[in-house]
Amino acid sequence: MNQPVSTSDIIGKKAYFKLRNHAEMGFFGIREDQFHARVVGIDKLGVWIENPKWETVRLRDDQGAIIPPEKRRREVYRTQILLLWPNIIGIMTCPGREGFDVDDAKEIGVFDEARYL
Protein backbone atom coordinates (compact mmCIF):
# COMPACT_ATOMS: atom_id res chain seq x y z
CA MET A 1 0.00 0.00 0.00
CA ASN A 2 1.28 3.48 -0.85
CA GLN A 3 2.13 5.92 1.91
CA PRO A 4 0.44 9.35 1.94
CA VAL A 5 2.59 12.01 0.28
CA SER A 6 3.32 15.46 1.64
CA THR A 7 4.80 18.33 -0.37
CA SER A 8 7.77 18.34 2.01
CA ASP A 9 8.60 14.77 0.83
CA ILE A 10 9.96 16.13 -2.46
CA ILE A 11 12.52 18.54 -0.95
CA GLY A 12 15.96 17.53 -2.18
CA LYS A 13 14.54 15.44 -5.03
CA LYS A 14 13.88 16.10 -8.70
CA ALA A 15 10.28 16.58 -9.74
CA TYR A 16 8.49 17.27 -13.00
CA PHE A 17 6.73 20.66 -13.16
CA LYS A 18 4.04 22.03 -15.45
CA LEU A 19 3.59 25.82 -15.32
CA ARG A 20 1.26 28.48 -16.62
CA ASN A 21 2.70 31.87 -17.66
CA HIS A 22 6.12 30.30 -18.24
CA ALA A 23 7.06 32.87 -20.92
CA GLU A 24 7.76 35.35 -18.14
CA MET A 25 10.29 32.96 -16.55
CA GLY A 26 12.87 33.00 -19.37
CA PHE A 27 15.23 35.26 -17.43
CA PHE A 28 15.51 32.53 -14.80
CA GLY A 29 16.39 29.87 -17.37
CA ILE A 30 12.86 28.43 -17.60
CA ARG A 31 12.03 28.36 -21.30
CA GLU A 32 9.43 25.58 -21.38
CA ASP A 33 6.13 25.08 -19.61
CA GLN A 34 7.21 21.56 -18.52
CA PHE A 35 10.56 20.56 -17.03
CA HIS A 36 12.37 18.62 -14.29
CA ALA A 37 14.12 20.47 -11.47
CA ARG A 38 15.49 19.75 -8.00
CA VAL A 39 13.21 21.03 -5.24
CA VAL A 40 15.14 22.94 -2.56
CA GLY A 41 12.26 24.26 -0.47
CA ILE A 42 8.53 24.76 -0.14
CA ASP A 43 6.74 27.58 1.65
CA LYS A 44 3.38 29.33 1.61
CA LEU A 45 4.39 31.36 -1.50
CA GLY A 46 5.39 28.39 -3.65
CA VAL A 47 8.13 25.91 -4.49
CA TRP A 48 11.83 26.79 -4.56
CA ILE A 49 13.76 24.99 -7.30
CA GLU A 50 17.41 24.93 -8.29
CA ASN A 51 18.91 25.95 -11.60
CA PRO A 52 22.47 24.59 -11.39
CA LYS A 53 23.65 26.43 -14.51
CA TRP A 54 22.10 29.91 -14.71
CA GLU A 55 24.16 31.93 -17.20
CA THR A 56 24.75 35.66 -17.41
CA VAL A 57 27.24 38.10 -18.89
CA ARG A 58 28.24 41.07 -16.78
CA LEU A 59 28.03 44.34 -18.73
CA ARG A 60 29.43 46.64 -16.04
CA ASP A 61 32.34 46.26 -13.64
CA ASP A 62 32.14 46.79 -9.86
CA GLN A 63 32.67 50.54 -10.31
CA GLY A 64 29.79 50.81 -12.80
CA ALA A 65 31.93 51.26 -15.91
CA ILE A 66 30.87 49.42 -19.07
CA ILE A 67 32.99 46.36 -19.80
CA PRO A 68 34.15 46.34 -23.45
CA PRO A 69 32.50 43.50 -25.43
CA GLU A 70 35.81 41.71 -26.04
CA LYS A 71 36.45 41.52 -22.26
CA ARG A 72 33.00 40.28 -21.25
CA ARG A 73 32.86 36.73 -19.97
CA ARG A 74 30.03 34.29 -19.50
CA GLU A 75 29.41 33.55 -15.81
CA VAL A 76 27.59 30.47 -14.55
CA TYR A 77 25.91 30.31 -11.15
CA ARG A 78 23.81 27.87 -9.15
CA THR A 79 20.54 29.71 -8.44
CA GLN A 80 17.34 29.10 -6.54
CA ILE A 81 14.06 30.17 -8.13
CA LEU A 82 10.69 30.62 -6.48
CA LEU A 83 7.79 29.22 -8.50
CA LEU A 84 4.65 30.86 -7.12
CA TRP A 85 1.73 28.52 -6.38
CA PRO A 86 -0.67 30.32 -8.80
CA ASN A 87 1.76 29.60 -11.68
CA ILE A 88 2.12 25.87 -10.94
CA ILE A 89 -0.38 23.65 -12.75
CA GLY A 90 1.11 20.44 -11.38
CA ILE A 91 4.08 18.67 -9.84
CA MET A 92 4.82 15.01 -10.54
CA THR A 93 7.22 12.57 -8.93
CA CYS A 94 7.80 8.85 -9.45
CA PRO A 95 8.88 7.62 -6.00
CA GLY A 96 8.62 3.92 -6.82
CA ARG A 97 10.37 4.01 -10.17
CA GLU A 98 13.64 2.08 -10.20
CA GLY A 99 16.49 2.39 -12.66
CA PHE A 100 15.91 5.94 -13.91
CA ASP A 101 17.63 9.09 -12.80
CA VAL A 102 17.41 12.47 -14.53
CA ASP A 103 21.17 13.03 -14.22
CA ASP A 104 21.87 9.63 -15.79
CA ALA A 105 19.41 10.41 -18.60
CA LYS A 106 21.34 13.60 -19.37
CA GLU A 107 24.53 11.62 -19.86
CA ILE A 108 22.98 9.24 -22.38
CA GLY A 109 21.00 11.98 -24.16
CA VAL A 110 17.49 10.61 -23.85
CA PHE A 111 15.74 13.95 -23.49
CA ASP A 112 15.67 17.56 -24.62
CA GLU A 113 18.26 19.39 -22.48
CA ALA A 114 16.17 22.58 -22.39
CA ARG A 115 13.51 20.85 -20.34
CA TYR A 116 15.82 20.10 -17.40
CA LEU A 117 17.17 22.60 -14.89
Is residue 57 within 8 A of residue 66, CB to CB? The reply is no
Q: Can you give the pTM of this predicted structure?
A: 0.74
DSSP 22-83: GGGGGGGT--SSEEEEEEEEE-SSEEEEEEEEEEEE--B-TTSPBPPGGG--EEEEEEEEEE
**Which residues are within 8 A (CB) of 32 and not within 5 positions of it... i.e. 6 or more apart?**
22, 114, 115
Tell me the HSE value of 12 on the side-chain side, using a 13 A CA sphere.
Answer: 2
State yes or no: pLDDT of 113 exceeds 60.
no
pLDDT of residue 105: 47
The whole-number pLDDT of residue 80 equals 94
